[in-house]
Amino acid sequence: MKISIAGTGYVGLVTAVCLAEIGHNVTCVDIDEKKIGILNEGRSPIYEPGLEELMVKNKERLTFTTDYKNAYKDTDVIFIAVGTPEKKDGSANLQYVFGVTKQIAESIQQDCIIVVKSTVPVGTNDKVERVLRENLKKDVHVEVASNPEFLSQGTAVKDTLNANRIVIGVETKYAEEVLRKVYDGFGLPYVITDRRSAEMIKYASNDFLALKISYINEIANLCEIVGANIEDVAKGMGMDPRIGDKFLKAGIGYGGSCFPKDTKALNWLANFNDYELKTIKAAIEVNENQKIKLIKKARKYYDNFSGLNVAVLGLTFKPGTDDLREAPSLQNIPILLEDGANIKAWDPVGIENYKKIYPKEIKYCNTIEETIKGADICFIFTEWPEINKFDISLFSKLMKYPLILDGRNCYDLEKVKKAKIIYESVGRNTVN
Ligand code: UGA
């Protein structure tokens, strides 16, 4: 089967490599020549565990090109996996989806199924089909299918090869059969539905997870007030299979390229249809406050950060990725800089991207020790394993004043008590 994929971002590239792994020939198309150049050298333009190895292993079945006309002309299935970023009003920006749709319509010369993998508002697949038909240059049979993606950054390859479901939204049996042929090699369970329901499954899933995080974060905030421990509370809740133990980790809020955008987009869609999605609105508001929670806590110790030596551990939106999109660090660091703090920061893979935003304002360090040396305060924004494993007795030995504000509950409170530090975390008592 010959497959083309428009867009070599996380979703497009990981899907391409995993489809090549099960034996398909896949052509990846992107307008970014630099990216295609890197891919043609056998390197991955994104940091994603296992991706480069699988790319190299399947290189005979993978082609990377900017020449969309050639790529789309004689292919059985074309995936659209381009970005749908947030617009100022919260709605999803669909210009890339429709741009690619027009390119496909102008290029295809044989019957073909167009599969929308990008996260798109309900009804978009119908519009894609309309745009396709309006712009077709040849008399060929095309159908559109919705096939949302559920991979997470940092575990994208594993998530794709072992997904818990493959959602396929189709309007005909023929489209279903073609999509089954694409995916049967994975041996995973299917959810077959109509296109609108498939589009909704994606948003409803992401927004439910965002809601779950905001819920546990609110319970954590209340735990702080009434003297309970959120880690124990989450454990006690999570053992009930109706609740489940995943996504109950309290912290300084969700970030990344999906939850913030997808909660706002669904909220926008509801408003557009004169419906108020109260739960999601609340999840968004809770998350915005949660992200700057540590700064509020730190103000109990210092009313401003002018001239203070501030150590920052973790810059990315979560461990396992160099992605900074909607990372809590990006909400907190401007406040610290505005106050006139001297910031030293450490992150195992996020520094190069951070330098593009703050080339001079921050001193970047290679080790945690170097970062915390002489610091008056230390913020933890991302739970990298290196931070979890760090010998906490070094905080009091190396810092000028051992005040730690941990936004990801990296340390066990019993161990913290022996480490002679002042420790504030989320949903747990202060240790001092
Ligand atoms: C998310 C979903 O988990 C994927 O299923 C989905 O396919 C993807 O969005 C997408 O739409 O493309 P991702 O954004 O890569 O994946 O990252 P997650 O692991 O879900 O984490 C999102 C944020 O939630 C992170 O900032 C993380 O720190 C936070 N989080 C997660 C918590 O604060 N607590 C938790 O218990 C779990």
DSSP code string of 43-107? --SS--TTHHHHHHHTGGGEEEES-HHHHHHT-SEEEE----PBPTTS-B--HHHHHHHHHHHHH
Distance from C-alpha of 48 to C-alpha of 8, rounded to nearest angstrom: 13
42 Rama class: left (phi>0) / alpha (psi -120 to 50) / beta? left
Task: Enumerate residues 6+ apart whose C-beta is below 8 A from 419.
Answer: 392, 393, 395, 396
pLDDT at 81: 97
Q: Which of 193, 213, 245 is the last residue of a domain?
A: 193
* Bridge partners (DSSP) listed for residue 311: 344, 378
Is-contact 426 229, C-beta < 8 A? no
pLDDT above 90: percentage of residues in the chain: 98
Could you tell me if 356 and 231 lie in one domain?
Answer: no
Distance from C-alpha of 404 to C-alpha of 399, rounded to nearest angstrom: 10
Query: If you average pLDDT over residues 214-232, what whole number do you get?
Result: 98
Q: Considering the domain boundaries, does residue 275 fall inside one?
A: yes
Q: Considering the domain boundaries, does residue 431 fall inside one?
A: no
pLDDT at 218: 98
Most ligand 1 atoms within 8 A of CB, residue of 46, 199, 259, 261 to mutate? 259
Distance 431 CA to ligand 1 centre (A): 29
Q: Considering the domain boundaries, does residue 107 fall inside one?
A: yes
Q: Which of 291, 320, 353 is the last residue of a domain?
A: 291
Q: Residues 355-411: pLDDT tens digits?
A: 999 999 999 999 999 999 999 999 999 999 999 999 999 999 999 999 999 999 999
Is-contact 170 195, C-beta < 8 A? yes
Is-contact 354 345, C-beta < 8 A? yes
Query: If you average pLDDT over residues 181-198, what whole number do you get?
Result: 97
Q: Is the pLDDT of residue 1 over 90?
A: no
pLDDT above 70: percentage of residues in the chain: 100
Torsion of CA 142, 148, 154, 155, to 10 degrees: -100
Q: Considering the domain boundaries, does residue 432 fall inside one?
A: no
Q: H or E segment at 279?
A: helix 278-291
Is-contact 392 414, C-beta < 8 A? no
Is-contact 391 364, C-beta < 8 A? no
Distance 256 CA to ligand 1 centre (A): 7
DSSP codes, 382-400: S--HHHHTS-THHHHHH-S
Q: Which of 172, 193, 214 is the last residue of a domain?
A: 193
228 Rama class: left (phi>0) / alpha (psi -120 to 50) / beta? beta
Is 255 annotated among the ligand-binding residues? yes
Tokens of 207: 């927004």
Could you tell me if 206 and 343 lie in one domain?
Answer: no
CB atoms within 10 A of CB 188: 14
Could you tell me if 255 and 364 lie in one domain?
Answer: no
Query: What values do phi and psi take at 166, rounded to 5?
Result: -115, 115
CATH number at residue 88: 3.40.50.720
Query: If you average pLDDT over residues 328-355, what whole number do you get?
Result: 97
Q: Considering the domain boundaries, does residue 183 fall inside one?
A: yes
Q: Residues 269-284: pLDDT tens digits?
A: 999 999 999 999 999 9
Query: If you average pLDDT over residues 153-172, what whole number do you get?
Result: 95
Most ligand 1 atoms within 8 A of CB, residue of 51, 217, 318 to mutate? 318
Distance from C-alpha of 283 to C-alpha of 327, rounded to nearest angstrom: 17
Is 248 annotated among the ligand-binding residues? yes
Could you tell me if 333 and 304 lie in one domain?
Answer: yes
Active site residue 28: no
Query: What values do phi and psi take at 167, rounded to 5?
Result: -95, 125
Could you tell me if 24 and 73 lie in one domain?
Answer: yes
Could you tell me if 228 and 79 lie in one domain?
Answer: no
CATH number at residue 207: 1.10.1040.10
Could you tell me if 418 and 317 lie in one domain?
Answer: yes
Most ligand 1 atoms within 8 A of CB, residue of 206, 221, 324 to mutate? 206
Tokens of 411: 């340390």
Kindly report the CA angle at 326 between 313 and 237, in degrees rounded to 5? 80
Whether ligand 1 lies within 6 angstroms of the CB of 286 is answered as no
Could you tell me if 258 and 324 lie in one domain?
Answer: no
Annotated catalytic residue, options 18, 112, 258, 365: 258
Q: Which atom of ligand 1 is nearest to the CA of 202?
A: 11
Q: Considering the domain boundaries, does residue 58 fall inside one?
A: yes
Ligand 1 atom 31: residue of nearest CA: 247
Could you tell me if 312 and 371 lie in one domain?
Answer: yes
Distance from C-alpha of 381 to C-alpha of 291, rounded to nearest angstrom: 9
Whether ligand 1 lies within 6 angstroms of the CB of 256 is answered as yes
Rounded to 10 deg, the angle between the 195-226 and 278-291 helix axes is: 50
Q: Residues 71-105: pLDDT tens digits?
A: 999 999 999 999 999 999 999 999 999 999 999 99
Strands of the sheet containing 362-364, edge to edge, are 362-364, 342-346, 309-313, 377-380, 403-406, 422-424
Q: Residues 47-78: pLDDT tens digits?
A: 888 999 999 999 999 999 999 999 999 999 99
Q: Is the pLDDT of residue 416 over 90?
A: yes
Whether ligand 1 lies within 6 angstroms of the CB of 402 is answered as no
Could you tell me if 303 and 416 lie in one domain?
Answer: yes
Q: Considering the domain boundaries, does residue 156 fall inside one?
A: yes
Distance from C-alpha of 303 to C-alpha of 141, rounded to nearest angstrom: 67
Whether ligand 1 lies within 6 angstroms of the CB of 247 is answered as yes
Whether ligand 1 lies within 6 angstroms of the CB of 318 is answered as yes
Range of the domain at 44: 2-193
Q: Residues 196-213: pLDDT tens digits?
A: 999 999 999 999 999 999
Q: Which atom of ligand 1 is nearest to the CA of 205?
A: 5
Could you tell me if 163 and 33 lie in one domain?
Answer: yes
Our count of domains for the chain comes to 3
Could you tell me if 45 and 177 lie in one domain?
Answer: yes
pLDDT at 47: 84
pTM: 0.95
Q: Considering the domain boundaries, does residue 96 fall inside one?
A: yes
Is 138 annotated among the ligand-binding residues? no
Tokens of 309: 């030596």
